[in-house]
Amino acid sequence: MTAIARMRTVVIDCPDPAALAEFYRQLVGGEVTSVADDWVVLEPEPDRRLAFQQADEYAPPTWPTAERPQQFHLDVTIDDIDEAELAVLAIGARKHEVQPGDADGDSFRVYLDPAGHPFCLCWD
């Protein structure tokens, strides 16, 4: 099947685009390639973009409650969970109090970025 489009950018609303872009740059690497007051682009790999967009009335998700659902989250692969956990906590992440554990044979832990978006560290 021929696709209609190609994936370009995942855009994340937040209160401070520059700060959140720096958090994710430290998490997944890459370069910040565009900076404006309300929009910052990070390219962790060629042709892969994360953009961080200013949202003036941003409120973080309350997952797992439905008050403000997470709507999306990022899964990143790591080699050593204990080492990676220390590293993400050091750059400003928080470990989520809810840890659903194993899903479909994948091991993961849930964290919150500095703006409160959930993300998972995953390993085999």
Residue by residue, pLDDT tens for the chain (124 residues) are 898 888 899 999 999 999 999 999 999 999 999 999 999 999 999 989 999 999 999 999 999 988 998 888 999 999 999 999 999 999 999 999 999 876 566 699 999 999 999 999 999 8
Query: Which pLDDT score is estimated for 13?
Result: 96
Q: How far from 8 is each of 26, 41, 62, 75, 83, CA to CA, in Å?
A: 21, 11, 28, 18, 31
- Collapsing DSSP to helix, strand or coil, 25 comes out as helix
Query: Which pLDDT score is estimated for 104?
Result: 63
Q: Are 20 and 115 in contact (CB under 8 A)?
A: yes
Q: Which of 44, 46, 104, 40 is nearest to 74 (CA)?
A: 44
Pick among 3.10.180.10, 3.40.50.410, 1.10.287.130, 3.30.930.10: CATH of 59-124:
3.10.180.10
1-58 folds as 3.30.720
Cβ-based neighbours of 97, under 8 Å, separated by 6 or more:
none
In the chain, what are the domain boundaries?
1-58, 59-124
Query: Which pLDDT score is estimated for 118?
Result: 95
